[in-house]
Amino acid sequence: MSQVPVPQTVQLGDGGWSVLLQAQGFGQLSSRASAYFTGFYSVSLRKHTDVIWAPAQALESVPDVYAVRAGLSYSASEQLSLSLGGRVDGTPTSDLIGGRTDFFRHAGFTVYVDPGVSLQRGANQFTLNVPVRVHHNYFDMSINNGQAVRIGTGGVADYVIYLGYARRI
């Protein structure tokens, strides 16, 4: 029985360090409604792993990644708020530091509709978001000195479940 690495999209990590660039904003639209924005860009400090992606015989990269969320939130009561927005998660074809590499990456982006609910109980806040995929696109890549590789769409979920808990101290 031979051992092969699992796809990068389902691994727990890529073994690299990153610098995280992040921004967020909120704006009150009315007494019960607000708009929100949050985004991050993770600047990878490592070019590649030691894992070889077999189809192209190329080392797997440790790529930059990003996510952006924006939408509207509505306060249904003092304890319950509902939100609806959009989300984009992606991996660029080139890194911010170091630019294009000849290492394999799943470059592309996924767009989600992102409904959510938040419940406030005293100092405790519980959140649930279930982004549902509405569009996905992997980019063609040229690796190994010009070898064109079209990446498949494996590893992108139809929906994701985010559960959160925060306690105000």
Q: Which residue shows structure tokens 């990446």?
A: 151
Q: pTM of the predicted model, to two decimals?
A: 0.79
In a domain, 49, yes or no: yes
8 found inside a domain: no
Is residue 51 one of the residues assigned to a domain? yes
Domain coverage including residue 21: 16-167
Q: Is residue 135 part of a domain?
A: yes
Give dist(CA 118, CA 129) in Å, integer: 9
**pLDDT tens by residue, 12-33:** 666 678 899 999 999 999 999 9
Residue 71 forms part of a structural domain: yes
Predicted confidence (pLDDT) per residue in 90-103, tens digit: 988 888 887 666 77
Burial readout 12-34 (b: 16 or more C-beta within 10 A, e: otherwise):
eebeeebeeeeeeeeeeeeeeeb
Count of domains observed in the chain? 1
> Is 3 a domain residue?
no
In a domain, 92, yes or no: yes
11 part of a folded domain: no
pLDDT score recorded for residue 141:
59
Which residues of the chain are under the pLDDT cut of 50?
144-145, 153
